[in-house]
Amino acid sequence: MHAEVMMSTHPQVHGDIDKPLIRCIEACMDCAQVCLSCADACLAEDMVAELRQCIRLDLDCANLCSTVAKLMSRRTGSNDVILKHLVDVCAEACGICADECQKHANRHEHCRVCAETCTECMRACRAASAEVLLPRQ
């Protein structure tokens, strides 16, 4: 990933990089890709009807993670209050998706990988929210 290199070149950042912010961006990008792949793999399973909720949560999580990563990558100006809300929602979505995927992890390796990735992303989002972003007002 090039998030840290790119962010360090931003004129308003002046090389002062927040590691939790970078970790969150990278975790969100990774999670978005894994959730999309998991949803696609679920669609290919014979028991697709039983995986309907998993697919839905994978897609919701992928969309949120992608959006959060994009918004966190913007350093010109600020919108920290809204960003904090979105990062907190993303952490919640990742936790819900991880729980759902974990239900299927013993039968589907893609769900196991997705559950682990969502849990990592949830932790990265929580760390960024707590350490970098402004408290809710």
pLDDT digits (tens, 9 = 90+) for 75-118: 666 788 889 999 999 999 999 999 999 999 999 999 999 999 99
Map out the domains of the chain with their CATH numbers.
Answer: 19-130 (1.20.1270.360)
* Average pLDDT rounded to a whole number, residues 50-64: 98
Q: Please state, in angstroms and rounded to a whole number, the distance separating the CA atoms of residues 75 and 13.
A: 7
pLDDT bin (cut points 50, 70, 90) of residue 73 is confident
By the 10 Å C-beta count (0-12 exposed, 13-18 middle, 19+ buried), 24 is classed as buried
